Amino acid sequence: MRRVHVEDIENGMVLARPVYSSNGTRLLQEGATLKEKYIPKIKELGYNAVYIQDELLEDVEVNDLINEELKREAVEEIKDTFKKVDNKVSLENQVDDIKSVLNKIMEDVLDRKNSIVDIIDMKMYNEYLFHHSVNVAILSMIVGMSMGFNSYDLYKLGLGALLHDVGKLEISNDILNKEGKLTEEEYEQVKTHSQQGYEKLKDQEQIPSTAKIVILQHHERYNGEGYPNGKAGEDIHVFSRIVSVVDVFDALISDRPYRKGVVPSEAMEYILGGAGSLFDKRVVGHFFKKVAAFPVGSEVVLNDGRQGLVIENFESYSLRPRVRIIKEKGQDIQPYDIDLRETKYNKVTIVKVAEGEAEQSNFSQEATG
Ligand SMILES: [Fe+2]
pLDDT digits (tens, 9 = 90+) for 74-107: 999 999 999 999 998 888 888 999 999 999 999 9
Q: CB neighbours (10 Å) of residue 277?
A: 12
Distance 194 CA to ligand 1 centre (A): 6
Helix 281-290 / helix 128-146 crossing angle, nearest 10 deg? 100
Q: What is the mean pLDDT of residues 275-284?
A: 98
pLDDT tier for residue 109 given thresholds of 50, 70 and 90: confident
Helix 151-163 / helix 209-217 crossing angle, nearest 10 deg? 40
pLDDT tier for residue 125 given thresholds of 50, 70 and 90: low
Residue 357: the pLDDT is 44
Average of per-residue pLDDT values in the chain: 89
Distance 254 CA to ligand 1 centre (A): 14
Residue 367: the pLDDT is 44
Distance 73 CA to ligand 1 centre (A): 22
Distance 114 CA to ligand 1 centre (A): 29
Q: Do 310 and 301 meet the contact criterion of CB atoms below 8 Å apart? A: no
Nearest to 298 by CA among 352, 358, 359: 352
Q: Do 296 and 314 meet the contact criterion of CB atoms below 8 Å apart? A: no
Distance 86 CA to ligand 1 centre (A): 17
pLDDT tier for residue 212 given thresholds of 50, 70 and 90: very high
Asked which of 209-213, 337-341, 365-369 is least confident by mean pLDDT, the reply is 365-369
pLDDT tier for residue 340 given thresholds of 50, 70 and 90: very high
Q: What are phi and psi of 228, to 5 degrees?
A: -85, -15
Task: Give domain limits for the chain.
Answer: 2-53, 68-292, 299-353
> Of all residues in the chain, what percent carry a pLDDT higher than 90?
62
Q: Is the pLDDT of residue 49 over 90?
A: no
Q: Is the pLDDT of residue 283 over 90?
A: yes
Residue 277: the pLDDT is 97
Q: Is the pLDDT of residue 366 over 70?
A: no
Distance 299 CA to ligand 1 centre (A): 31
Distance 77 CA to ligand 1 centre (A): 19
* Long-range contacts of 103-107, Cβ-Cβ distance < 8 Å, separation of 24 or more: 103/155, 104/70, 104/73, 105/66, 105/70, 105/74, 105/137, 105/138, 105/141, 105/158, 106/141, 106/151, 106/154, 106/155, 106/158
Residue 201: the pLDDT is 94
Annotation: CATH topology of 68-292? Hypothetical protein af1432 (1.10.3210)
Distance 216 CA to ligand 1 centre (A): 9
Q: What are phi and psi of 337, to 5 degrees?
A: -105, 140
Distance 143 CA to ligand 1 centre (A): 18
pLDDT tier for residue 115 given thresholds of 50, 70 and 90: confident
Distance 369 CA to ligand 1 centre (A): 7
Q: CB neighbours (10 Å) of residue 199?
A: 15
Q: What is the mean pLDDT of residues 333-351?
A: 93
Domain 2-53, architecture per CATH: Alpha-Beta Complex (3.90)
Q: Is the pLDDT of residue 1 over 70?
A: yes
- Collapsed DSSP state (helix, strand, coil) of residue 3: strand
Distance 5 CA to ligand 1 centre (A): 27
Distance 215 CA to ligand 1 centre (A): 8
Instruction: Identify the residue with better confidence: 216 or 50.
Output: 216
pLDDT tier for residue 356 given thresholds of 50, 70 and 90: very low
Distance 59 CA to ligand 1 centre (A): 39
> Of all residues in the chain, what percent carry a pLDDT higher than 70?
95
Element (H, E) at 145: helix 128-146
Distance 165 CA to ligand 1 centre (A): 5
Distance 193 CA to ligand 1 centre (A): 7
Tell me the pLDDT tens digit for each residue of 147-189: 999 999 999 999 999 999 999 999 999 999 888 889 999 999 9
Instruction: Identify the residue with better confidence: 355 or 127.
Output: 127
Residue 228: the pLDDT is 97
Cα 46 from Cα 277, distance rounded (Å):
36
Domains 2-53 and 68-292 equal at CATH topology level: no
pLDDT tier for residue 243 given thresholds of 50, 70 and 90: very high
Q: For 178-237, where are the alpha helices, taking DSSP H only?
A: 184-190, 193-201, 209-217
Tell me the pLDDT tens digit for each residue of 6-44: 888 899 999 988 888 877 778 888 899 999 888 888 888
